[in-house]
Structure 1
Amino acid sequence: MKMIRLVAAVAALLTTSCTSNMATGPAAAPPPEAAATPRAAVQETEPFVIAANPLAAKAGQDVLKRGGSAIDAAIAVQAMLSLVEPQSSGLGGGAFLTYLDGASGKLTIYDGRETAPAQASPSMFLGPDGKPLGYREAVTSGRATGVPGAVAMLAMVHAEHGALDWSSLFSAAERTAEEGFVISPRLGRFLGIAFPQLGTPDATAYFADADGERKTTGDRLKNPEYADFVRRLAANGPGALYGGSTAAKIVAKTRAAPLEGRMTMADLAGYKPVKREALCNPYRVYLVCVPPPPSSGVALLQLLAMLEKTDIATRGPEDAQAWFLFAEASRLMYADRDQYIGDPAFASIPVQGLLEPAYVASRAALIGESAASSPPEAGTPRGAVLAAADKTLEPAGTSHFIVRDAQGNVVSITTTVESIFGSGRMVDGFFLNNQLTDFSFSPVDDNGRPAANAVAPGKRPRSSMTPTILLDSDGKFAGAIGSAGGNSILAYVAKSLVGAIDWDLSMQEALALPNLVARGSRFGGELDKFAPGVADGLAARGVDLKPGQGEDSGVHAVIIRDGRVDGGYDPRREGVVLVGTGE
């Protein structure tokens, strides 16, 4: 499939966007919790780490202090997140990574998405009655786990861009697992919720205290099995996961009842990450670059392109019409995304058609004065192949982090074990993903048309993960962003970009803006965070907001403003922005 080329996109940005000033909205007061957060401002050349947990961010910063590269630090961050934020990501999961080479300016996408085993079948999530399994039944099953991809992908990037030895990047995670860490309020909150994964024997045993009760915030949690695993991973490389005793345990764990899976040692040994070309499109004075399918990055670009056809930039966060435009454009984007995006090795994806200006304009023109009473249908972009209506269940989860080193190399990575605590099954101290539940449980519709995101052997499930890098009109690094949150990731990231770019908020203020996710017939929003009158104004336009669901957002982002770095972390999590090497 011919992708939109980076060079062409830069040229388009230079000729069309750079001659106009950045549109900004009225100087509306930010939400109270955002106004109290100072803007981070440092020299552009300084390295930084932004992650969802302070221990993970510090592990990355320490690697930078030792002269490590951005990918060296990212490996240390991921190893620590697997321990201290196990509900979101880990070494048993997958990831997408967008990499900017500081010397050459080249962008590369590294796809570490999990794959379905060779013995997978389109009907594997159908019950004996031929109907889709219930999600709670499927999520903890052995067949929910895909072949993990994060470790192999990180090893690939390290081989190309690492500065320190692989063996030196896991010491912080190993030490913390051995000595134990204090359970944070966020992890403690999740441990108090009745997720089905917490009812598995593995999770029950791992989080139990000496009296057999589940640990909670403030308790110390040790994980000697994980310490031993990362020690072997450091010494032996990715083969410590994809072969030997750990691989055998993964196979055994996924093939255990109920609903045993179909993974084999050959599946693990044969996993290959994929290098892909970045997909880029202009937005205002920036070039926004994302992973191509099976990521949903093209949908983010489409949403931004539709918003650029509206007057949202002349408005602001206190304007109900601005949020209405965002909601309706989101619904149109999701209709297309859900219909067409899947693994490009198995389905024809109309990437170029979705971004063609005429098609974008036709979709944006569907935004009326009030919300349509029925959900919008997918359009017919050039190159579209008629497919079944999507029935994929995609829960919230995941983590995003960003690293830049002193040489200007940047890593923007979104990483996941899928839903909360993955499948709830553990091997060597880490949770296995339940990523195959990101496939459509129904492989065909009533007319026999196949779903673009149906299960197939070796296939990668569609992902909403969109680790993004922004370039300026000279092709230089201008920012990075990404989020957690399942299919809501696209809305979370777009909202944050609108706040930072169109409304000229600091990045921290933009991330703190209320979330609004409009998909299909549902309008989800953080009702208590909108400015007075916004919810009523939306209701008058047919947008009836309901409280959000899932894990909330986890947006981390930076943007370059006048040569200075404006970084932010999502206040809904426990993130931190660490600038410099801590010296």
Structure 2
Amino acid sequence: MQIRRFLLAAVAVLGVGGGAYAQTTSQLAPAPEAATGRSVRDHGVSTRYMAAAANPLATEAGREMLRAGGSAVDAAIAVQLVLNLVEPQSSGIGGGAFMVHWDEARRTLTTLDGRETAPAAAAPDRFMGADGKPMKFYDAVVGGRSVGVPGTPRLLAEAHKRWGKLPWPQLFEPAIRLAENGFAVSPRLSGLLGQEKFLSANPAARALFYDADGKPLAVGTTLKNPAFAQTLRTLAEKGVEAYYAGPIAEDIVATVKGHPTNPGDMTLADLASYAVKEREPVCGAYRAYRICGMGPPSSGAVAVQQMLGVLETRDMGRLKPGPEAAHWFAEAGRLAFADRNLYLGDPGFVSVPVEGLIDPAYVRSRAALASPDRSMGTAKPGEPPMRKTLLLGPSDGVEHGTSHISIVDAQLNAVSMTTTIEDGFGSRLMTKGGFLLNNELTDFNFAPVADGKPVANRVEPGKRPRSSMAPTIVFDAFGRLYAVTGSPGGSQIINFVGKTLVGLLDWKLDPQVAVDLPNMGSRNGPTELEAGTEAEAWKPALEAKGHEVKLLEMTSGIQAIVLTPSGFVGGADSRREGVAIGD
């Protein structure tokens, strides 16, 4: 198997748990051609700058901006716009995003919240059926009911205002070219269209993604999207306000309200009032490193910090990937998800005790609950310090979809941005403007009350649903930029990012090897191991410790860039189609 061959080759060359990165990139990694079939260029070694994203066409757009002297933000915007076109199932201007930005000259870290919001008319029982029970997931997803007010366009504009160097219209050029001239449908897009059950019911989507016989477009078919090209031209020429007011906004509202069986209630006023929020970064120490990410309404950074805090009580560097490491990783996940499900939500609506949840002493007390010999099964939430009186019920929530972008520019400014329309193909609603709308509101808990108490992640007007997105930037012991990473994958994102950080920081793996490691973890339920990888062999040893083990498809999409003394080394998850490239 590809992942297994790459891992074993890397272990042989690097030595799992070995010393720091080698001084030269030739020493750093095994020959990528032999291990993965990728070229060296695709594998990701550069000296000037680097972009990593889930599709080669999108990554090339980012590099085009970097070559033109653009900033990391310029590149990220170009990448996002092309991803909307070539990977429409995962992200786009009809969705939301979180961005973590490092400004090297000013030595400042900023996190921007472009998460979607619930319309003003949204009520806590939005996803409760007439029988008083939560709706079935896809009954809620498909249609306008699930669509939140999109935040990605305004996030891109805000980031460009702060850190962009190139003219705004220039960032749209790669996506406009591809939309007008066409691009070859990738295996992943064609395959997902073949599995999709709901999208073809939307006339605009059917006309774009299916042939005259109603079959999904085959691999290699040239796909053009002139409607999206026109939308991009409008935004390039008139700015982001043309999205939130005027014909594009009117089309969004009409699409949301016009679904025949499951209409939504978004209004033009909802769109006009959308605002990006700057949040306080969530940062914490892990061994000699400082790990920083996105705070609430994302639970990602808090949960990752808690997991790493538990793992820090173990000598993870001594352990190689295997059942022992998976045991501790799963126990750490149980503890983190127990707290996540009780405390995390939109901080504008609930008091989230972030400082208490990542307090080192509190996390160590949680770590003491984990045994080396036996799984705890299901963890209970703790009582972190600095929390106000809470009368909340636990919630789970459902998450899917998403994409991730990692960029470092020539000045060592960095962007880690996770971007989403939630489920694959979102709400299955495509506007006349050629882009899909999100189903982000189904990230809220469907039942507003649990155990007789309101849940933190219940639906409320203007509220942002809890997320697990975990865009992450890592600094070394001297405060220097060290790594940029993140992943899609719904609530599994937390485990995907945690795994990658352990691979990079404890096991000193090449970024490509770290992102391709078998996925593992627990979301305070069964211990989950990635099917079709060497992790399957860990199942008996974990079961002997009392784990209930499930083998799952775990299609992460991790992108990672690491700074070395000789330049940049990047990795893009082999489970998807991405590359990490630079010059």
Provide TM-score, normalisation by structure 1: 0.90
Q: CA deviation at 1:520?
A: 2.5
Is 1:321 paired with 2:324?
yes
Give distance in 1, aligned partners of 2:544 and 2:388: 35
Match of 2:305 in 1: 301
Which amino acid letter does the alignment assign opposite residue 150 of structure 1?
T
1:312–1:325 Cα contact (<8 Å) kept: no
Is 1:506 paired with 2:510?
yes
Note the residue ranges of structure 2 that are not aligned, 5 or more in a row.
1-14, 20-28
Is 1:538 paired with 2:542?
yes
Q: CA deviation at 1:549?
A: 4.4
Question: Compared with structure 1, are the counterparts of its residues 168 and 364 closer, same or farther at alpha carbon in structure 2 (3 Å cutoff)?
Answer: same
Q: CA deviation at 1:117?
A: 0.8
Match of 1:68 in 2: 70
Question: Compared with structure 1, are the counterparts of its residues 385 and 187 closer, same or farther at alpha carbon in structure 2 (3 Å cutoff)?
Answer: farther
Is 1:465 paired with 2:469?
yes
**Partner SS, residue 203 of structure 1:** helix
Give distance in 1, aligned partners of 2:80 and 2:99: 12
Q: CA deviation at 1:385?
A: 4.2
Question: Compared with structure 1, are the counterparts of its residues 201 and 370 closer, same or farther at alpha carbon in structure 2 (3 Å cutoff)?
Answer: farther
Note the residue ranges of structure 1 that are not aligned, 5 or more in a row.
1-22
Match of 2:580 in 1: 577
Give distance in 2, aligned partners of 1:194 and 1:124: 25
The counterpart of 1:264, out of the listed 267, 272, 279, is 267
Give distance in 2, aligned partners of 1:438 and 1:42: 38
Match of 2:449 in 1: 444
| CA offset digits 1:298-345 (Å, max 9, x no partner) | 11111111110123221111x311111111111111111111110001
Give distance in 2, aligned partners of 1:48 and 1:110: 22
Question: Compared with structure 1, are the counterparts of its residues 33 and 24 closer, same or farther at alpha carbon in structure 2 (3 Å cutoff)?
Answer: closer
Which amino acid letter does the alignment assign opposite residue 418 of structure 1?
E
Alignment of 1:264-413 (within 5 A): 264-296=267-299, 297-317=301-321, 319-372=322-375, 374-382=377-385, 383=387, 385-413=389-417
Give distance in 2, aligned partners of 1:24 and 1:514: 14
Q: CA deviation at 1:204?
A: 2.5
Which amino acid letter does the alignment assign opposite residue 17 of structure 2?
G
Q: CA deviation at 1:180?
A: 1.3
Which amino acid letter does the alignment assign opposite residue 407 of structure 2?
V
**Partner SS, residue 450 of structure 2:** coil
Which amino acid letter does the alignment assign opposite residue 435 of structure 1?
E
Q: CA deviation at 1:387?
A: 4.4
Match of 1:526 in 2: 530
Most deviating of 422-431 and 519-528: 519-528
Which amino acid letter does the alignment assign opposite residue 472 of structure 1?
D
Which amino acid letter does the alignment assign opposite residue 397 of structure 2?
L
Which amino acid letter does the alignment assign opposite residue 506 of structure 1?
D
2:49–2:568 Cα contact (<8 Å) kept: no
Is 1:25 paired with 2:17?
yes
Match of 1:5 in 2: none
Match of 2:440 in 1: 435
Give distance in 1, aligned partners of 2:468 and 2:530: 21
Q: CA deviation at 1:506?
A: 1.0
The counterpart of 2:418, out of the listed 403, 409, 414, is 414
Q: CA deviation at 1:197?
A: 3.9
Question: Compared with structure 1, are the counterparts of its residues 532 and 269 closer, same or farther at alpha carbon in structure 2 (3 Å cutoff)?
Answer: closer
1:197–1:420 Cα contact (<8 Å) kept: no
Give distance in 1, aligned partners of 2:268 and 2:65: 33
Most deviating of 214-223 and 265-274: 214-223
Greater than 6 Å deviation, 4+ residue runs: 30-35
Alignment of 1:73-222 (within 5 A): 73-222=75-224
Give distance in 2, aligned partners of 1:436 and 1:57: 29
Q: CA deviation at 1:369?
A: 3.6
Most deviating of 428-437 and 361-370: 361-370
Give distance in 2, aligned partners of 1:247 and 1:381: 43
Give distance in 1, aligned partners of 2:66 and 2:305: 32
Q: Taking every aligned residue pair, what percent have the same amino acid on both sides? A: 46
Q: What is the Cα-based RMSD across aligned positions, in Å?
A: 2.1
Give distance in 2, aligned partners of 1:213 and 1:441: 34
Provide TM-score, normalisation by structure 2: 0.90
Give distance in 2, aligned partners of 1:464 and 1:520: 14
Give distance in 2, aligned partners of 1:123 and 1:31: 54
1:328–1:371 Cα contact (<8 Å) kept: no
Match of 1:478 in 2: 482
Q: CA deviation at 1:34?
A: 11
**Partner SS, residue 400 of structure 1:** strand
**Partner SS, residue 146 of structure 1:** coil
Give distance in 2, aligned partners of 1:527 and 1:245: 46
